[in-house]
Structure 1
Amino acid sequence: MVFIKEGALQSHHEKQAAIYSCKVLLNCYLRECCEDQRKLLKVNRQDHTFSLHFQASHETIIGKFTFYSPNGEHEYAYFFLQNGQALTLTFLASLIVQEYLQHNKAITHDHVQNFIARVENSYQNMAVFLKHATSSLINDYLSSEQSLLYGHPFHPYPKNTVGFTSQEVATYCPELRTSFPLCYLAVRYDIFQETWVTESAAHEFLQKFEYDIRQQLKFDDDNYRILPMHPWQYAYVQTLEAVQKFERQQKIRFLGSSGPVCYPTSSVRTVYIPQFKCNLKLSLSIQITNMLRINSQEQMTRTLDAAHYLLAHDCFVEEHYTKVLYETGVCTCRFEEEALTALFTMAYRPMVLDEKSTYVVASLVEAPIQGKPCRLYDWLKGQNVEQWFRQYITISLLPIVRLADKKGIHFEAHLQNTLITLRDGKPHIFWIRDLEGVSIEQEKVATHRQAQGPLFYEKEQAWSRTKYYFMVNHLGSFIHALARDFQLSEAHFWQIVREMLLEEWEQTQNELVAHLLTTSVFYAKKNLYSCLIGKSEIPEYVAVKNALYKGNELYEIDDSFHASK
């Protein structure tokens, strides 16, 4: 089996990117594969050293934890091969792949080559981002969107952008603090399609993207509507024969770039336009992490159905400090082929928040320099961290479980889909965005007829959204960052969550709260396996211990074992 060769590390940035990429691969592998085979990982409780044996290759990794995380987000002082040789990223990836190949015959040579290439791409991008991250400071909403240098802590290639050239990475990736004007397409009325949640949203979009852009482009043909596009996608679709045919028929006309400057956000394909105070979720036929980022009809239907449902059911109306950032409309070209339509589809999201004091939560809990504290740590040093954390839970988790209990509404509220507005350094407003992931409990809907459609799930399926996206992904990493940097155990913060949920249950007898407190495990995505076998759209899950459940504290190696600075 041939694997991509890894050259000698030339710079500090490349070394840091390689170390982090190895850490993520190790943590993914330990979470997904070693819980059922605990004999493979041996940990010395006295000095926190460990050995990890790979049966297929008969190799063993030796290392030392600086922070052992019950959530699986471990930190390492070092790791190397048992023979004393350095552990390279490519070799670690090959060890992991060989373990999977031994047990899963469905993994093909192409699967392996694609996986290794994406691991390498992610590493190379990360090294570039670290090299050019001259300032990792976050001072407003926009800088927080463009400061997520490492990405998902449980993804084997969190910064993969296969499809972008190195120049396109430099032009379009948010980590490099990039900006650019959008490109615009004139779409003839008979194939222009738009759907809006409210008439005011439609008028707002017209004002910004029809009247203003038409004037700048000096385009006054009333037989057409204006459709914004990502510059990369704009160039890409012009290479397609079907699109060229529509252009010859003058159903669409390519108008070029113009308009206000936009800034790519942490998702790469979604942009922020300060002049218009909005996000546009644009289609981009590039694999960001493990999926092509195009807006399918199913995704957009889910998004607008969710917006309608949430507005009709007064979502968070009783919670003054918890809010939703709604997608209010979708525009596209209406072609016979749905796959072609998806290449042009965009969603509009007004950003009605205080840009100067609102931040993407994922960026706050990321440490811009490995081995140093997260960005949030510097803001909390002079405060009572437990009190701050209680306030955070008060405006995030508690409203989420109340809404789920009363109205059966659940979100994909992971770290990158949530924002926090601070006032005087304290949590003030918690925001949830990206409604494509909303799910509704069928049992909470008034009639069976109303519970039809892609939004509605059986209770257990809907609950799984909150359990994975908020409890495991969001709160797990949030608590890990606080515990590591304040030299406390993760159990310390989970106990605060437990106490607050117990109090909530005593007052409301909330069924979901009772479940969160009494289920022994949650389930996390097997991102490593899904990426290797190419099943990102239909992931598998692995059980992770629920830190709220009494008894699971025993799995923490040592309560006195905290991060060292």
Structure 2
Amino acid sequence: MDLSPPPDGDGPAARADSYAAAPLLNCLLRELAVPVAGSGDLRTYRLPGTGRLLRVRGTRRPAAPEVSASGRWHRLGHTELVKLVTEELRRHTGLSNHDLPAEMIDSREAVAALLAARARATAPADPYLRSEQSLVTGHPYHPAPKARGGGPAAGWLPYAPEAYASFPLVLLGVREDLAVEEGDTSALDALGQAPPGYRLLPAHPWQLDLVGGESAKAFADGRLVRLGTTAFDAWPTAAIRTVYAPDRDLFLKFSLDVRITNDIRRLWRHDLEKRGRTDAEATRAFAGASAAWLSDRGYRTAAFAFEELAVLVRDGLHGHLLPGSTPLLAAGLVEGFAGSPLAAAPDPAAWWAAYLRAVVPPALAAFAAHGVVLEAHLQNTLVAVDAGGLPVQALFRDAEGVRLLADVGRAAGWERLVYTLVVNHLTEVAAALAEHHPGLDPWPAARRELARHDLPEIAGLLTSPTLPGKTNLLLRWTGADGAAARYLPLPNPLARPVPQP
């Protein structure tokens, strides 16, 4: 079942508006709006910059926005909503920004293209791939989560996970004396055959369409040669630039010169160069644990196009999964997909308790015992379920998002972990579960699970009236670097007494 916002009307344009409006409204209501009143399913807010009243329907995925004018409520389409948000941001910050409104519109147009493509395509039979390719709404608190760089849909749809894409990778040869690599990249050499004097370098076909300059010249002078494509298809995961090759049980992460959510998604040199240390620390943190870390083993690239053509090799799934279990993307559980065990759980309280046991202890242990701060948000966490759909194991990924307490300090590391694990992750899963299973209060169980762990920060987490919420709308409007997280206080659902049995 799809947990995305209900369509406002029956037409494709109304459906695209509804999907695109929900995360934008979430940002506006979290970061700028002031609650005024509300009854039933309607919530009303004052926008302090313009003084206008805005009301929406629903909570987790707000829909049907209306603004009050001359004593009457007027419905806002997506274009009108973008104008309203833009004016509010300009007055709130005193700054102008011409790029973000265009990204909001691009995100809505991308949603429309994705919905049309999904209607013509067949979802993958593998439930893991289905979960990775389910994110039509995407990040629930980002103003333009589906923006694809403003290019025509024909250029990116063939590589879009939300369109159920799969495709062969392009195989290049990079002259041996110009190949740069670190770590274990042996899996790349098994993808094809490089001619003498060259090293094999797989490439994402969309990225090849985007690069120019020195990379383009290299084909002419022989530094790069084209060697065809892989004999198998790769499936783009929710991250878009990371693909999974089921036949090889291998993940590959590429550069992609497109802004997706907050950042241009290149494999930046500084991240690649620190990969070895952060990945090694994360690997040690999970040694002997039932939970798993999918190691970013190594990378290979061309010296003359270090970031543009880099490819990162990541562990596959099979060597890490508990026997008989099926991995699912946590973000997919929140968004909804056919066969989701969250929706079908016969005992949602037991399912939630098992989910918490799988996800929370390894993230806290990595922090407390090893000084490793996982970026444990929905898109970096896989949850394996048994044959009955009950969570039994968590798998974490992406060394690029890992922070080490030795570098960031304990207070900043704890704030980041609370945001990614609790606010971005557990809060969303809890809300989706409660939406599917009315009457369930997921927070007493979450509080009990967290209270089991002997960290000095836990007491504060369970009593603080607020949690840190990331301000993606203001971050993008002010042009801050995507890694420079800014937080505002959100009500803490954990800070409530737990009923005694």
Compute the TM-score of the two structures, normalised by the length of structure 1: 0.79
CA contact (8 A) 2:254 2:311 kept: yes
Could you tell me which residue of structure 1 aligns to residue 465 of structure 2? Answer: 520
**Matched position secondary structure for 1:484:** helix
Could you tell me which residue of structure 2 aligns to residue 559 of structure 1? Answer: none
Deviations 1:122-162 (A, max 9, x none): 11111222233346687421222112111010011111101
Structure 1 residue 515: deviation in Å? 3.4
Distance verdict in 2 for CA 1:348–1:544, change over 3 Å: same
Deviations 1:44-94 (A, max 9, x none): 35x3533333354454323444x4xxxxx3545x43232343211121121
Amino acid of the structure 2 residue aligned with 1:283:
S
CA contact (8 A) 2:134 2:335 kept: no
Q: How does 1:458-469 map to 2 (within 5 A)?
A: 458-469=409-420
Structure 1 residue 203: deviation in Å? 3.5
Deviations 1:398-420 (A, max 9, x none): 22112311222110011111111
CA contact (8 A) 2:131 2:337 kept: no
Point out where structure 1 has 5 or more consecutive residues left out of the alignment: 1-8, 68-72, 443-455, 554-565
- Matched residues in 2 for 1:14 and 1:368: separation? 22
Q: Which moved more, 1:177-186 or 1:518-527?
A: 518-527
Amino acid of the structure 1 residue aligned with 2:162:
E
Could you tell me which residue of structure 1 aligns to residue 173 of structure 2? Answer: 186
- Matched residues in 2 for 1:74 and 1:205: separation? 41
1:365 to 324, 327, 334: 334
Deviations 1:522-542 (A, max 9, x none): 212111111222224223221
Amino acid of the structure 2 residue aligned with 1:226:
L
Q: In the alignment, does 2:402 pair up with 1:457?
A: no
Q: In the alignment, does 2:183 pair up with 1:203?
A: no
Could you tell me which residue of structure 2 aligns to residue 233 of structure 1? Answer: 207
Could you tell me which residue of structure 2 aligns to residue 350 of structure 1? Answer: 315
Could you tell me which residue of structure 2 aligns to residue 141 of structure 1? Answer: 128
**Greater relative CO (CA pairs within 8 A, separation 6+):** 1
- Matched residues in 2 for 1:341 and 1:137: separation? 34
Distance verdict in 2 for CA 1:174–1:63, change over 3 Å: closer
Could you tell me which residue of structure 1 aligns to residue 266 of structure 2? Answer: 294
Structure 1 residue 235: deviation in Å? 3.0
Could you tell me which residue of structure 2 aligns to residue 223 of structure 1? Answer: 197
Amino acid of the structure 2 residue aligned with 1:441:
L
- Matched residues in 1 for 2:473 and 2:158: separation? 29
- Matched residues in 1 for 2:358 and 2:285: separation? 14
Q: In the alignment, does 2:401 pair up with 1:437?
A: yes
**Matched position secondary structure for 1:235:** helix
- Matched residues in 1 for 2:43 and 2:280: separation? 52
CA contact (8 A) 2:423 2:467 kept: yes
Q: In the alignment, does 2:439 pair up with 1:488?
A: yes
Structure 1 residue 183: deviation in Å? 1.2
Could you tell me which residue of structure 2 aligns to residue 532 of structure 1? Answer: 477
Q: How does 1:161-560 map to 2 (within 5 A)?
A: 161-196=148-183, 201-206=184-189, 208-209=190-191, 213-214=192-193, 219-220=194-195, 222-237=196-211, 239-240=212-213, 242-311=214-283, 314-320=284-290, 322-335=291-304, 340-353=305-318, 357-367=326-336, 375-380=340-345, 382=346, 384-424=347-387, 425-442=389-406, 456-488=407-439, 492-502=441-451, 504-505=452-453, 509-537=454-482, 538-550=484-496
Amino acid of the structure 2 residue aligned with 1:517:
L
CA contact (8 A) 1:138 1:144 kept: no
- Matched residues in 1 for 2:56 and 2:145: separation? 23
Structure 1 residue 518: deviation in Å? 3.2
CA contact (8 A) 1:284 1:293 kept: yes
* Matched residues, number: 481
RMSD value over aligned CA atoms?
2.6
Could you tell me which residue of structure 2 aligns to residue 115 of structure 1? Answer: 100
CA contact (8 A) 2:113 2:153 kept: no
Could you tell me which residue of structure 1 aligns to residue 5 of structure 2? Answer: none
- Matched residues in 1 for 2:187 and 2:204: separation? 20
CA contact (8 A) 2:343 2:436 kept: no
Distance verdict in 2 for CA 1:186–1:468, change over 3 Å: same
CA contact (8 A) 1:365 1:376 kept: no
**Matched position secondary structure for 1:228:** strand
Distance verdict in 2 for CA 1:114–1:294, change over 3 Å: same
CA contact (8 A) 2:471 2:487 kept: yes
- Matched residues in 2 for 1:422 and 1:368: separation? 15
Could you tell me which residue of structure 1 aligns to residue 141 of structure 2? Answer: 154
- Matched residues in 1 for 2:293 and 2:234: separation? 22
Could you tell me which residue of structure 1 aligns to residue 14 of structure 2? Answer: 15
1:61 to 21, 44, 54: 54
Could you tell me which residue of structure 2 aligns to residue 28 of structure 1? Answer: 27
Could you tell me which residue of structure 1 aligns to residue 115 of structure 2? Answer: 130
Could you tell me which residue of structure 2 aligns to residue 449 of structure 1? Answer: none
- Matched residues in 1 for 2:430 and 2:393: separation? 19
CA contact (8 A) 1:188 1:251 kept: yes
Point out where structure 2 has 5 or more consecutive residues left out of the alignment: 1-7
Amino acid of the structure 2 residue aligned with 1:351:
G
Structure 1 residue 391: deviation in Å? 1.2
- Matched residues in 1 for 2:48 and 2:354: separation? 47
CA contact (8 A) 2:294 2:395 kept: yes
CA contact (8 A) 2:331 2:379 kept: yes
Amino acid of the structure 2 residue aligned with 1:194:
E
- Matched residues in 2 for 1:19 and 1:440: separation? 39
- Matched residues in 1 for 2:201 and 2:434: separation? 47
- Matched residues in 1 for 2:497 and 2:84: separation? 34
**Matched position secondary structure for 2:168:** strand
Structure 1 residue 12: deviation in Å? 2.6
- Matched residues in 1 for 2:41 and 2:231: separation? 56
Distance verdict in 2 for CA 1:173–1:493, change over 3 Å: same
**Matched position secondary structure for 2:442:** helix
Amino acid of the structure 2 residue aligned with 1:203:
S
Structure 1 residue 96: deviation in Å? 1.7
Could you tell me which residue of structure 2 aligns to residue 563 of structure 1? Answer: none
Distance verdict in 2 for CA 1:367–1:42, change over 3 Å: farther
- Matched residues in 1 for 2:129 and 2:476: separation? 30
Distance verdict in 2 for CA 1:163–1:230, change over 3 Å: farther
- Matched residues in 1 for 2:436 and 2:171: separation? 46
**Matched position secondary structure for 2:426:** helix
Amino acid of the structure 2 residue aligned with 1:548:
L
Deviations 1:230-275 (A, max 9, x none): 11222333x32x2344444422223343432111111111111122
CA contact (8 A) 1:141 1:356 kept: no
Structure 1 residue 397: deviation in Å? 0.5
Distance verdict in 2 for CA 1:58–1:202, change over 3 Å: closer
Q: Which moved more, 1:162-171 or 1:543-552?
A: 543-552
CA contact (8 A) 1:13 1:128 kept: no
- Matched residues in 2 for 1:525 and 1:517: separation? 19
